[in-house]
Amino acid sequence: IKVENVSKKYCKSLKRSMLYGVKDIARNTFGLNSHSDKLRKNEFWAVDDISFEVKKGETLGIIGPNGSGKTTLLKMLNGIFWPDKGKISVKGKVGALIEVGAGFHPLLTGRENIYINAAILGMTKKEVDEKFDDIVEFADIGDFLDAPVKHYSSGMFVRLGFAVAVHCEPDILLVDEVLAVGDIEFRAKCYNKIAELQNDCVVVIVSHNMSAIARISSKCMVLNKGNLIFQGAAEKAIQHYHSLFDEEKVNIYHPVGSGEAKIESMKLYSIDNKESETFKYADPLTISFDVKVSSRYKTFLISITFMNQAMQLVAQCHSDYNNIVLNNDGLSKNIRVTMQELLLTPGKYFISIIIFDETSRKYLVWHYRTKTFSVVGNFVGGADVQLRGT
């Protein structure tokens, strides 16, 4: 695959989009230039001036925030869209899984759709007959093979679509985030199949699963607002992706709760006791903050939680679970909590702090996503917490 200065534009207005389409067709019919390289009213560049090359045996991961142009780029590689500017050169048979249900007729059965979808991908009936049992076994849709696919779940669509795509022996395999709808067993089967194909074909995969991108990509590119902002090793690309979500771009919430406690001056300290927001994997992390709790409470509890960029809770440090008693006299106190080893996989994380009453039922104050920090390392783990073993 060779992509040279490729751009693709869309129109935000449906009426104008239809009008522009009619005008462009008319101009092209009479041999006139439609000026597709210029923006008109309500148009924007979904993909803007992107260039890259992927050779046989290479796997390219494409990552970026939602709306950055990843799927549009994949559709252009598959020939669904033509670029408005630039050139795309694709040599070889393409197998693509870009949208759930794409290439399937809802009224036909799974069996019939296998033949139709395979024909679209360039397979002959004889080739499909020879590989039919393997496709059905890989898809694992059971008794639904002879049922109309309109009754299929999104997961079953993906199973059937991926099974056909990988058994057409593609020279180029394009995979979008659709694998996310499959169950754990099927995803593992898909990644194993991709690993089998990697040496003999080009693989281009779009995903928000950073561990999968790091594991299977030989190189990676980061898109943001239609622009290519980084291209290189997967680990560095993932760090670049994380840097897009700095504090100015995330919603740091105001504290909630009963208002009977107050947290101030929260700081993070690294191994050399210097204030920092970037920490090496397995280095110590110290969280320091001042807390003042209403004197009506003789004791209180503290819960510190860590969330990843998907807003999933990945770790917690709770005073009660660590048998720490926090006595209260109504005066301000400085709290310092040290994790001797920060065993979070490299990435960006959010810290939330809750002050409870002694029953752990009443929220005296809750600072949600009050601080962000990054963990750096030379790997991207498959889980957020990496336990050490000997």
Whichever domain contains 31, its CATH number is: 3.40.50.300
Residue closest to 384 by CA, chosen among 291, 311, 314, 332: 314
386 located within any domain: no
Does residue 6 register a pLDDT over 80?
yes
CA atoms within 13 A on the CB side of 128: 18
| Boundaries of domain holding 73 | 2-247
Does residue 57 register a pLDDT over 80?
yes
Average pLDDT score, the chain: 88
390 located within any domain: no
CA atoms within 13 A on the CB side of 212: 22
Which two structure tokens, joined as six digits, stand for 257? 């709760």
> Are 343 and 388 spatial neighbours (Cβ–Cβ below 8 Å)?
yes
Q: What would the mean pLDDT of 297-322 be, rounded to a whole number?
A: 91
Q: Which of 247, 272, 296 is the last residue of a domain?
A: 247
Strands 363-376 and 278-280: parallel
Does residue 247 register a pLDDT over 70?
no
Q: Assess whether 193 and 137 both reside in one domain.
A: yes
Residue closest to 58 by CA, chosen among 230, 199, 267: 199
Q: Assess whether 219 and 299 both reside in one domain.
A: no
Q: Assess whether 277 and 368 both reside in one domain.
A: yes
pLDDT band at 180 (very low <50, low <70, confident <90, very high): low
CA distance 79 to 76: 5
Q: Assess whether 279 and 335 both reside in one domain.
A: yes
CA distance 185 to 296: 53
Sign of the alpha-carbon dihedral angle for 120, 118, 188, 236: negative
Q: Assess whether 263 and 331 both reside in one domain.
A: yes
CA distance 234 to 217: 6
Q: Assess whether 309 and 208 both reside in one domain.
A: no
Tell me the backbone φ, ψ of residue 222, rounded to 5 degrees: -110, 125
Over residues 191-232, the pLDDT tens digits come to 888 888 888 899 999 988 887 888 889 999 999 999 999 999
Q: What would the mean pLDDT of 261-285 be, rounded to a whole number?
A: 92
Q: Assess whether 174 and 283 both reside in one domain.
A: no
Residue closest to 140 by CA, chosen among 122, 151, 155, 123: 155
Does residue 252 register a pLDDT over 60?
no
The three-class DSSP label of residue 319 is coil
Q: Assess whether 225 and 276 both reside in one domain.
A: no
Q: What would the mean pLDDT of 361-385 be, rounded to a whole number?
A: 87
Sign of the alpha-carbon dihedral angle for 109, 115, 119, 121: positive
Q: Assess whether 243 and 260 both reside in one domain.
A: no
CA distance 175 to 187: 12
Helix axes 125-139, 110-120, angle to 10 degrees: 120
Q: Which of 185, 218, 247 is the last residue of a domain?
A: 247
382 located within any domain: no
pLDDT of residue 182: 66
Sheet holding 43-53: strands in order across?
Answer: 43-53, 2-11, 85-89
Tell me the backbone φ, ψ of residue 200, rounded to 5 degrees: -110, 0
Q: Which of 247, 266, 284 is the last residue of a domain?
A: 247
